[in-house]
Amino acid sequence: MIKKCLFPVAGYGTRFLPATKSMPKEMLPIVNKPLVQYGVEEADQAGLSTIGFVTGRGKRAIADHFDISYELEAEIKGSGKESLLTSIRDLIENNDFSFTRQNHMKGLGHAILSGRNLMGDDPFAVVLADDLCVAAEDGEGVLAQMVKIYEQFRCSVVAIQEVPADQVHKYGVIAGEDMGNGLYRVTDMVEKPSQEDAPSNLAIIGRYILTPDIFDKIEKTEPGKNGEVQITDALMKQAQEGCVMAYKFRGKRFDCGSIEGFVEATNYVFENVYLKDQAEQAEQDQKKGSK
């Protein structure tokens, strides 16, 4: 059973400056919740309750967000606003949170390696909070889907989606043997290839399940694309020696690392999640009132 989930959150968020000058980019809100909370909710839904963060300087707000604010709770008690804290309070009660720091920015592979002590010798998930994933119509989140794939194959799993050919340079891109039902057994993996060098248009998005041997593989991985230690290269070693599965998930994904994706996600969540929740709440309140 997978119980752990790692969030690399040390990045600077330069694309959102000046908003991210003194605030972590993961705390930017999509409507009324910070981006990182959506990722933790997705992990919680998948039954991953040991949450580790690889943070950096200037990221304390994330640790504060996943801790109880007694002062605030006391302040709003009896004001009718208590329910606004329910979602975060439930996450805090149901999960354990630990933090470690990445002192050097040497790439995603290095960030994941920095979380080794938090994840230990168990398989674990990785969430890049920039990628906001909204559950499929049946309500099953992307991580919950991936946990099932892991249980079937017992090897690392990456989430993929088809992207236009002129976008492949932004992603890790896979090639694989098509096994049906959106599953591929990975045969090749290239970090941010040019359009000409891309092995396909199947791009890795920010959801992974990794077996713990990944840590030794990362340690032996030389800096790759852009001089950074790439998780894609370490995963390629796992694929060569054993197995890595790629999975075309069900649901929607927004690239909230870009301004356009962030705005798109905001509009989507406002219309399809926030307004619906409000309408449901109003209906419940009305029922209660008429009793």
Residues forming contacts to ligand G1P in the complex (CB under 6 A) are 108, 128, 131, 171-172, 191, 203-206, 230, 232, 257
Q: To the nearest whole angstrom, how small is the minimum distance from the Cβ of residue 193 to ligand G1P?
A: 10
Closest CB to ligand G1P among 79 and 226? 226
Which residue type is seen at 163?
V
Closest CB to ligand G1P among 88 and 109? 109
Q: To the nearest whole angstrom, how small is the minimum distance from the Cβ of residue 128 to ligand G1P?
A: 5
* DSSP calls for 154-195: -SEEEEEEE--GGGGGGSEEEEEEEEETTEEEEEEEEES--T
Helix and strand numbers (H, E) in the chain are 11, 13
Q: To the nearest whole angstrom, how small is the minimum distance from the Cβ of residue 255 to ligand G1P?
A: 7
Q: To the nearest whole angstrom, how small is the minimum distance from the Cβ of residue 132 to ligand G1P?
A: 11
Structure tokens at 229: 């230690």
C-alpha closest to that of 42 among 154, 123, 183, 159: 159
Closest CB to ligand G1P among 13 and 123? 13
- What are the two backbone dihedrals, phi and then psi, of residue 124, each rounded to the nearest 5 degrees? -150, 160
Closest CB to ligand G1P among 56 and 88? 56
Q: Which residue is nearest to ligand G1P (CB)?
A: 172
Q: To the nearest whole angstrom, how small is the minimum distance from the Cβ of residue 219 to ligand G1P?
A: 18
| Alpha-carbon separation of residue 86 from 31, 70, 93, 260 (angstroms) | 16, 14, 10, 30
Closest CB to ligand G1P among 99 and 254? 254
Helices (H), 17-128: 35-45, 60-65, 70-76, 86-94, 108-114, 116-119
Q: To the nearest whole angstrom, how small is the minimum distance from the Cβ of residue 73 to ligand G1P?
A: 35
Closest CB to ligand G1P among 88 and 132? 132
Closest CB to ligand G1P among 195 and 284? 195
C-alpha closest to that of 157 among 126, 112, 129, 195: 126
**Which helix (H) or strand (E) segment is 276 a member of?**
helix 275-290
Q: To the nearest whole angstrom, how small is the minimum distance from the Cβ of residue 70 to ligand G1P?
A: 36
| Alpha-carbon separation of residue 203 from 26, 49, 185, 249 (angstroms) | 22, 27, 14, 12
